[in-house]
């Protein structure tokens, strides 16, 4: 995901007015013509009472630029002026020229309101931004980011991705008072086994540093190295007596990653349509002049949409969904562009051609379906709130949507959903494929409990599988409750009574399960609910059940530590 094909290229309507500066633009260089700089073709001198405060007004953006020492400041302004029609989108990774640096520094230093630049403070702010926005470290080397920061402060020196990773880990350790252990410094091996060992060592060092001696689960994606790492970690936790339920569900597969795999398999059916629309979008967003021609083709009265189109990153289907969503609203605009811009037609014809009517029809059919995946991914990818209790809720919802879409009449969409169903079944198609800990977390959400789990399972699986899942869930629920309560671990065969009838030996766990579900808003905080209500009403059960939900906090901390390995 280097160069232009990245998430940072996904432009929204807020970005459409920005036109990047171009170094050494031939049209902006001063020409010797009667000792008059070319810059005066773009500026109007303003009258002044003194020779020491000369200024000129830019004809493009009306900015006032001082030129006491010559026209260098004016030329520098022209290179970055977003309204200058001579500027074009040319992004390079080259260092700015020394003359350009001097011109920009002169402008920055001429304003008394600009605070003194501090490289270390700015570098610290950069690390905080990457952590807060959860950006991959490689984005620090992205040319668009360099260009933007250079326009604000040309003195800033960007760190490499490795330096940024070291800064974040060092600052994180300092902020935590030295209690958080930094991961080992070994270099990742090329093979999955070597990388898996490094992952296991990283998690072990983190757990020791945090003084955590019990682990419920670790969430990772489906890379083979992660499978190896989990096996190493499981053996170590067994030796430390620090594992729950014998580590049977230690390995939690990332829901967002699986959703990504499901969608990618399905979208192969409409790949040509997506390729043509993607190429059309990239054509109009490549230069400001092309985008201006595209805007002239827009009929706002017939479109009724104020936004524009943005490029996507091919490796991130969510950005592709957003690109298709915006492009579909401008399908008539692209058709009009085909007639007005011959270059557009000729360039597109070199590959798969311009988007066809059936391409827009396919996109229109699949977008509502893709929206379900998009929204599920957005919800499950949150890092500032607990997501373990909604994991299986999203899984069941997506599964039901796939079953419904398999019955549609359109052959293209039906083929797409059949492929999605096959990939879905690989991970979640049978009760034995499911992670019981995630189902338990769903039961511990007072809006769901066992009733919602049973109802949704009946909509996904046949009767025998749904009943088997309910029985298995009850057995594991009691086992882990006993384990967290400090009691002897129950045998998995002794299931808790989950019927509506109360038994004489009713436990606090049974009381919780048999109570009615809570009617709460979508932004309901399950942990806060346990803290404020259950702690006062059922102190014996609250502590172990709260611990089960708190595992998401541990998962987040481990993901943070492993981030440097990406």
**Is the predicted pLDDT of residue 464 greater than 70, yes or no?**
yes
Higher-confidence position of 301 and 466 = 466
Distance from C-alpha of 220 to C-alpha of 250, rounded to nearest angstrom: 10
Q: What confidence category does residue 69 fall into, taking pLDDT thresholds of 50, 70 and 90?
A: low
**Which pLDDT score, from 0 to 100, does residue 196 have?**
82
Last residue of a domain, one of 427, 449, 481: 427
0.85 exceeded by the pTM?
Answer: no
CA-to-CA dists, residue 249 to 219, 234, 304, angstroms: 10, 10, 50
> Residue 69 sits in which domain range?
7-110
Residues 415 and 275 in one domain: yes
Radius of gyration of the chain (CA): 29
Residue 223 has pLDDT above 60, yes or no: yes
Confidence tier at 245 by pLDDT (50, 70, 90): confident
Alpha helices (H) along 10-111: 72-80, 98-110
pLDDT band at 479, cuts 50/70/90?
A: confident
Residues 6+ positions from 41 with CB-CB distance below 8 Å? none
Residues 84 and 20 both lie in one domain: yes
Q: Are 468 and 431 in contact (CB under 8 A)?
A: yes
Same domain, 91 and 127: no
Number of domains in the chain: 5
What pLDDT score does 102 carry? 44
pLDDT at 340 over 50: yes
With bands split at pLDDT 50, 70 and 90, how would you rate the model's confidence at 91? very low
Torsion over CA of 313, 90, 132 and 158, rounded to 10 degrees? 130
124-183 pLDDT, tens digit each? 889 888 888 878 888 888 888 888 998 888 889 999 888 998 888 887 655 554 444 444
What is the pLDDT confidence band of residue 530, given thresholds at 50, 70 and 90?
Answer: confident
Q: Is residue 2 part of a domain?
A: no
Q: Tell me what pLDDT residue 85 has.
A: 67
Tell me the C-alpha distance between 245 and 138, whole Å: 38
Q: Could you tell me what percent of the chain has a pLDDT over 70?
A: 71
Name residues whose C-beta falls within 8 Å of residue 166's C-beta, 6 or more positions apart in sequence. Answer: none
Is there a single domain that holds both residue 454 and residue 502? yes
**Mind listing the pLDDT tens digit for each residue in 375-404?**
998 888 877 777 888 899 999 999 999 998
Residue range 410-420, pLDDT digits in tens? 788 888 899 99
C-alpha to C-alpha distances, 529 to 85, 386, 422, 436, 519, nearest whole angstrom: 58, 13, 38, 22, 12
Domain assignment present for residue 481? The answer is: yes
In a domain, residue 316? The reply is yes
Same domain, 273 and 391: yes
* Residue 396 is assigned to a structural domain of this protein: yes
In-domain check, residue 185: no
130 inside domain: yes
Does 490 score more than 60 pLDDT?
no
Nearest to 489 by CA among 251, 248, 253: 248
Mean pLDDT of 231-252: 86
Domain boundary among 87, 110, 133: 110
């Amino acid at each position: 995901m280097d160069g232009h094909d990245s998430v940072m290229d996904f432009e929204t309507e807020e970005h459409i007015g920005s036109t990047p500066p171009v170094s050494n633009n031939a049209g902006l260089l001063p020409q010797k013509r009667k000792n008059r700089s070319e810059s005066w073709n773009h500026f109007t001198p303003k009258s002044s009472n003194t020779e020491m405060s000369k200024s000129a007004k830019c004809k493009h953006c009306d900015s006032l630029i001082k030129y006491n020492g010559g026209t260098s400041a004016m030329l520098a302004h022209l290179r970055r002026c977003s309204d200058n029609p001579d500027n074009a989108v040319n992004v390079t990774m080259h260092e700015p020229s020394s003359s350009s640096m001097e011109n920009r520094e002169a402008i920055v230093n001429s304003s008394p309101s600009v605070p003194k630049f501090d490289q270390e403070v700015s570098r610290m702010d950069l690390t905080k931004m990457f952590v807060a926005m959860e950006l991959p470290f490689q984005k620090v080397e992205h040319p668009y980011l360099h260009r933007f920061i250079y326009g604000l402060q040309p003195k800033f020196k960007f760190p490499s991705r490795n330096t940024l990773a070291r800064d974040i880990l060092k600052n994180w350790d300092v902020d935590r008072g030295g209690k958080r252990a930094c991961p080992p410094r070994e270099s990742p091996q090329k093979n999955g086994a070597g990388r898996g060992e490094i992952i296991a060592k990283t998690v072990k060092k983190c757990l020791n540093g945090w003084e955590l001696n019990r682990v419920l689960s670790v969430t990772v994606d489906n890379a083979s190295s992660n499978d190896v790492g989990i096996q190493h970690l499981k053996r170590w936790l067994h030796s430390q007596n620090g594992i729950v339920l014998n580590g049977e569900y230690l390995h939690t597969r990332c829901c967002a990653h699986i959703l990504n795999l499901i969608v990618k398999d399905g979208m192969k059916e409409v790949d040509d349509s997506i390729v043509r629309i993607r190429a059309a979008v990239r054509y109009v967003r490549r230069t400001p002049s092309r985008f201006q021609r595209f805007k002239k083709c827009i009929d706002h009265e017939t479109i009724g949409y104020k936004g524009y189109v943005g490029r996507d990153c091919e490796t991130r289907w969510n950005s592709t969904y957003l690109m298709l969503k915006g492009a579909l609203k401008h399908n008539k605009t692209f058709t009009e562009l085909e007639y007005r811009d011959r270059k557009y037609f000729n360039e597109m014809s070199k590959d798969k051609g311009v988007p066809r009517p059936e391409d827009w029809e396919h996109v229109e059919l699949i977008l509502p379906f893709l929206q379900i995946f998009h929204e599920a991914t957005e919800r499950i990818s949150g890092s500032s709130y607990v997501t373990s209790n909604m994991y299986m809720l999203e899984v069941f919802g997506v599964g039901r949507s796939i079953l419904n879409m398999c019955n549609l009449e359109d052959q293209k969409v039906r083929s797409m959903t059949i492929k999605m169903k096959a990939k879905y079944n690989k991970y979640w198609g049978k009760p034995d494929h499911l992670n019981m800990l995630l189902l338990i977390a769903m039961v511990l959400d007072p809006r769901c409990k066992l009733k919602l789990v049973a109802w949704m399972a009946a909509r996904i699986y046949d009767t025998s599988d749904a009943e088997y899942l309910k029985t298995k869930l009850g057995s594991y629920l009691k086992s882990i409750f006993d384990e967290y309560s400090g009691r002897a671990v129950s045998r998995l065969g002794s299931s808790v009574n989950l019927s509506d009838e109360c038994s004489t030996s009713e436990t606090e766990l049974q009381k919780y399960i048999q109570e009615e579900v809570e009617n709460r808003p979508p932004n309901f905080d399950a942990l806060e609910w346990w803290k404020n209500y259950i702690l006062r009403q059922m102190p014996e059960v609250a502590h172990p059940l709260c611990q089960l939900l708190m595992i998401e906090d541990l998962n987040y901390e481990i993901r943070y530590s492993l981030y440097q390995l990406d």
